[in-house]
Amino acid sequence: MPQDSPVVTGYYRYTDIWFEWHQALPDLEDRAPVKAIFAHDALVHPDHPLHIEGVEGIRMYIGTFDSGEARLLFSSAQVDYLRYWLHAMKLTKTIVPLPYSDCLLTESLLKTVSPVVYSDGFTLRNAIKVIDKNNKRLKGSNPSLTHRRHLFERVRTLWTAKKGVWCAADIESWERDHTVLTEFGWSTIGWKDGEKFEENGHLIVDEARKYTNSQYVPDHRYDYMFENKSEIVKKSIFEKRIRDLVAGLAKYGPVYLVFHDNTQDIKDLNKLGVDFQGLSYILPEGLAESGIWVVDTVELIGALLGEEGNKRSLDKATNLLGITTQHLHNAGNDAYYILKALENMASGDPLDMQREKRWPLQTPAGVKVELKPWQEDSDYSDEEGVLPAPYAAKVPST
């Protein structure tokens, strides 16, 4: 008996579909309808068959290779759907054949694939020029920057999937002895049965209240600003609450633990006996059903700025993202702002589009942003009142 051939899915280059596919169709009368359905202004129209409710324009994909170079893509599902739609609407005589197999990019050939939305035909028409320009800028980039860029797009993809839970966490300690833990804060955004939920909290160690900071960092231990009031608990309860919190996140599916410079926080959580079995610093290639992964906003802001190894403080990172903060160095507040920074970047456009919207014309060479003094320093006042408002990512409604 003949065996069914496996169904192979993946992505097609926008340029192959728009410029080449219709020309290769055997029936000359089918070429015009196929060309028309992929026209720029048609794709972004709300009546287009690929239109998604709640999305303004057309959702496509940005795929990147190991080198960091990007391509604008249609999914094979989109192309396949339009083949059948055209025939069902009697716009083609038959179901037109797929593009030749060499055009198909399987996920194994791509380092990352992340969604991108074009709201109007003009932006879509110029997308290829913009992507080609950025690809040229990336020539000769340091591998650490390429890694950061891949990470940024992988986070965008996972965030857009609305699956699992993202939990930002921060631990504060006594500045004279970092083994003395004083606070723990957390902030979560997740999806349960398709519904978004949020939770924030802040714990203070009762026995450590006598240890105050002031020399190196301000002590804002009692200045928690969100949701519930701070809880003052005994050290044993403090440790158990943290262990239970992390363990309890698994019921939502994949867990993404978000930190701003994770090195010390992970060490502290390990000392508290948090179960990190299966913890990975490398994000999953696809959409995982379970597991724990570390996401660091230091790496994400570095990717956005085109920086290879620089580590910016939470204060500087949030300032660059246009996020107003108060009373940092309170663990609960820090966790809240870390997650807001993550959401701000992950829910926005692809990396290069975000960068240009946030800091237009500030990448004269390569992809590194040349920041102005007032962008670097939130206290800079010489240009106050004459600067444009910072870019804010459009957070999709749920």
Tens digits of per-residue pLDDT, 2-39? 344 445 689 999 999 999 999 999 999 999 999 999 99
Distance CA 369, CA 137 (A): 12
Stretches where the chain sits below pLDDT 70 are: 1-8, 378-398
Question: Side chain identity at 36, as an amino acid letter?
Answer: A
Distance CA 388, CA 275 (A): 46
Contact in structure between 93 and 29 (CB atoms under 8 Å): yes
Distance CA 80, CA 370 (A): 43
CA quadruple 246, 250, 254, 259: dihedral, nearest 10: -10
Paired tokens of 93: 């005589």
Distance CA 67, CA 207 (A): 52
Q: Give the model's pLDDT for residue 8.
A: 63
What is the largest distance, in Å, between two alpha-carbon atoms of the chain? 83
Distance CA 376, CA 243 (A): 37
Q: Is 359 helix (H, G, I), strand (E, B) or coil?
A: coil
Q: Give the model's pLDDT for residue 278.
A: 84
Name residue, tokens 């160690």.
205
**How do 70-75 and 11-13 pair as beta strands?**
antiparallel
User: Got the DSSP string for 78-126?
Assistant: HHHHHHHHHHHTTSSSS-PPPPPGGGEE-GGG-SEEEEEEE-SHHHHHH
Backbone angles phi, psi at 347, to 5 degrees: -95, 0
CB atoms within 10 A of CB 354: 20
- Find, among 378, 381, 346, 356, the residue nearest to 306 by Cα: 356
Q: Give the model's pLDDT for residue 9.
A: 84
The number of residues making up the chain comes to 398
Q: Which residues contact 283 (CB under 8 A, 6 or more apart)?
A: 151, 154, 155, 158, 293, 295
Distance CA 289, CA 286 (A): 10
Domains, the chain, with CATH or none: 11-139 (no CATH), 164-376 (3.30.420.10)
